[in-house]
């Protein structure tokens, strides 16, 4: 029989085999077609350096020492001294009757932490939170939309940053509002009986105005004109986005980092830096604070855990290289310009200390109390323990914990604030019980 006849007889089998092979090839192609970019050679290069970062284990102890409790009592003293009885709000700085939504959120964290530590009982915590929520429900909002950037703690008037009343207001800060929204989630978790009061406040705020196309949007008043602007840079933006997600807002672009991320090496560590400019003019700042809040309040996610580890390790490495304790973040200052961002990377270089306007003032770098306590709670290394021990000498039992120690002179940065004392309390509560959003570790 000829080859041609045999081929003709076998054509059905051949068609079947060809179809089978083609089908297998199609399946393989379809399987690879759907691979996400991060699983292929197309993975964004900006995230690759963090694969080398092994997250430090969290140092939840399940207990705290007598010294820890004394440190917590000192921190709580700040709020005993600075809570305004008539309104239930707390001053952002010692004896200065002004606050923002950020500092008001810090006061909530302080109350819940003090309760976990046994410094106050559940009844006092509920009373303080109820008074605060009642005042928040009464606030005159910026253009009837969202809380103004600053309020007088006694009169609840809209004020500017010098605490003078302003009729129009300053606008709203999306990051500040998200900060207090985060603490509303903590209230509902710990005190579900207060959920109706929380929801009553939220129902008066037009939160949908500050979430647009997955991003956080704030407003500024410039020459009497109200202007909207995207808010948040890597670190703060992801913390704030988590907060809004607690209440069902879609902040997918705010939570993502890849589109706005570059990596700068500091002391051998990959540091996550935002590619967008601060105020449209200055390279963005990287500080400890948003990562401390994320870990102490929510508990890290896998990405923020790696970022935080790298940021912490860079500070530890600077100490190992120079012998200078390094715990950098944003801080109030005891003298002009009264506020600075002490950065791991900022303004285009490592270890820069920057004003909000973008001026460099490295002489004001502070070994920040809240950064030392926060990193010690989260990671509990010999280095963090040594920093906290060094700071013990600046505690003021009658006033609270000051901002820290000026690196250049060794003098105390005597400014005493709600944020620092709240972080001290949250840190010590974390050591004993873990993140505030979770059930207490027994």
Q: Which domains does the chain have, with CATH numbers?
A: 35-433 (1.50.10.140)
CA 98-104-108 angle, 5° bins = 145
For 66, the token pair is: 């007598």
pLDDT at site 442: 53
* Alpha carbon distance 349, 343 (integer Å): 9
Contact yes or no for 440/433 (Cβ under 8 A): yes
* Alpha carbon distance 271, 237 (integer Å): 16
* Alpha carbon distance 429, 239 (integer Å): 20
pLDDT at site 10: 45
Average pLDDT across each block of 10 residues of the chain; the chain has 442 residues. List them in order.
Answer: 44 42 39 36 73 95 95 98 98 98 98 98 98 98 98 98 96 98 97 98 97 97 94 97 96 95 97 91 93 98 98 98 98 96 96 94 98 98 98 97 98 98 98 90 55
* Alpha carbon distance 278, 355 (integer Å): 11
pLDDT at site 439: 77
pLDDT at site 280: 79
* Alpha carbon distance 173, 345 (integer Å): 24
Contact yes or no for 188/198 (Cβ under 8 A): yes
pLDDT at site 441: 57
In which residue are the tokens 């006694």 written?
A: 154
* Alpha carbon distance 133, 197 (integer Å): 7
DSSP 297: I
pLDDT at site 283: 87
In which residue are the tokens 């928040």 written?
A: 136
């Amino acid at each position: 029989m000829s080859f041609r006849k045999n081929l003709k007889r076998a054509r059905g089998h051949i068609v079947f085999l060809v179809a089978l092979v083609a089908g297998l090839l199609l399946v393989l192609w379809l399987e690879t077609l759907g691979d996400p970019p991060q699983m292929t050679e197309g993975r964004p290069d900006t995230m690759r350096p963090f694969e080398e970062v092994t997250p430090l284990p969290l140092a939840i102890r399940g207990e705290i020492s007598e010294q820890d409790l004394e440190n917590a009592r000192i921190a709580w003293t700040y709020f005993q001294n600075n809570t305004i009885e008539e309104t239930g709000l707390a001053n952002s700085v010692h004896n200065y009757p002004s606050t923002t939504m950020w500092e008001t959120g810090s006061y909530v964290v302080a109350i819940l932490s003090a309760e976990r530590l046994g410094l106050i009982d559940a009844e006092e915590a509920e009373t303080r939170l109820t008074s605060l929520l009642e005042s928040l429900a009464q606030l005159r909002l910026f253009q009837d939309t969202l809380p103004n950037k600053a309020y007088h703690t006694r009169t609840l008037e809209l004020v500017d940053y010098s605490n003078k009343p302003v009729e129009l207001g300053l606008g709203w800060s999306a990051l500040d509002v998200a900060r207090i929204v985060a603490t509303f989630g903590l209230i509902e978790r710990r005190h579900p009986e207060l959920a109706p009061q929380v929801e009553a406040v939220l129902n008066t705020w037009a939160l949908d105005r500050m979430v647009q196309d997955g991003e956080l949007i704030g407003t500024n008043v410039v020459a009497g004109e109200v202007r909207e602007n995207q808010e948040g840079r890597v670190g703060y933006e992801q913390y704030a986005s988590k907060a809004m997600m607690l209440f069902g807002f879609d902040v997918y672009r705010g939570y993502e980092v890849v589109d706005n991320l570059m990596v700068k090496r500091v002391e051998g560590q990959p540091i996550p830096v935002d590619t967008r400019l601060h105020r449209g003019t200055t390279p963005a700042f990287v500080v400890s604070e948003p990562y401390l809040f994320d870990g102490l309040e929510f508990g890290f996610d896998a990405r923020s855990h790696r970022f935080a580890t790298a940021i912490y390790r860079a500070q530890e490495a600077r100490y190992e290289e120079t012998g200078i304790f390094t715990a950098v973040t944003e801080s109030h200052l005891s003298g002009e310009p009264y506020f600075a961002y002490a950065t791991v990377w900022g303004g285009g270089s490592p270890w820069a200390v920057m004003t909000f306007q973008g001026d460099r003032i490295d002489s004001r770098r502070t070994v920040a109390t809240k950064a030392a306590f926060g990193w010690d709670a989260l990671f509990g290394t010999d280095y963090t323990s040594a920093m906290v021990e060094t700071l013990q000498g600046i505690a003021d039992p009658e006033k609270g914990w000051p901002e820290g120690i000026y690196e250049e002179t060794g003098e105390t940065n005597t400014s005493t604030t709600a944020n620092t004392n709240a972080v001290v309390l949250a840190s010590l509560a974390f050591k004993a019980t873990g993140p505030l959003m979770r059930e207490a570790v027994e």
